[in-house]
Amino acid sequence: MPNPLASLAVWPVVSGLVFVVRGSGVAYNEVVVALLDQTGSVASLRRFAVLLAGLTTTLLLLLQRPSLAFVV
């Protein structure tokens, strides 16, 4: 490993970023628990879940690319 100290220094940043992205999923879980009993909520909750999964996956895939990681 060419620069082990810099590699260790980036772990808190990566961990914080993953925590922020994962936080939306945890919040969504709480919303599902609160709204699942209402009629007609299943379709909209499912649609939002697909949107949320797509957005968070796209964000993490864009950030993992080395060329785009330096831009953001």
Q: Do the Cβ atoms of 68 and 62 come closer than 8 Å?
A: yes
Q: Is the pLDDT of residue 23 over 60?
A: yes
pLDDT higher than threshold 70 for residue 36: yes
Query: Please, which pLDDT band fits residue 67 given cuts at 50, 70 and 90?
Result: low
Rounded Cα gap, residues 26 and 56, in angstroms: 13
Band (pLDDT 50/70/90 cuts) for residue 21 is confident
Mean per-residue pLDDT, 10-37: 89
Tokens of 35: 């709204």
On whether the pTM is more than 0.85, the answer is: no
CA atoms of 62 and 39, how far apart (whole Å): 37
